[in-house]
Amino acid sequence: MARVYINPNQTLDIYKNGSILVPAHQSHITIKNVSLALVKVSGYWASLVGDYTLYNSIKIYPGRSEIFVPPPNLIYYYKVTATNLASYLNAEIEVEVGSNNNPLF
């Protein structure tokens, strides 16, 4: 588990994975908001050539945990960003990669 601190109105890459050789499935990511600020988490994928494309995003309210589900298909590049939506509060999140391979259980 990693703890990430985000300044007001700041966006950070919290996970990045990819390979030019072989596309792969990506891990689920569990994110817990342990601050008072609202945090938006967004996932982006990219093919072998081209820019990142938004796949999905969720808002994580203070004190809540969410499982961020990656695209189901094989992809070359994947990244997840976290944005602090508060204009005056610092945000703090806990990130765990691959903590739950099946979000239904």
Q: pLDDT truncated to tens, each residue of the chain (105 aa)?
A: 899 999 999 999 999 998 888 888 888 999 999 999 999 999 999 988 889 999 999 999 999 999 999 888 888 999 999 999 999 999 999 999 985 454 444
pTM of the model: 0.87
- Report whether 70 contacts 26 (CB < 8 A): yes
- Report whether 79 contacts 16 (CB < 8 A): yes
- Report whether 94 contacts 27 (CB < 8 A): no
The rounded distance, in Å, linking the Cα atoms of 45 and 50 is 10
Architecture per CATH, domain 2-97, reads as Sandwich (2.60)
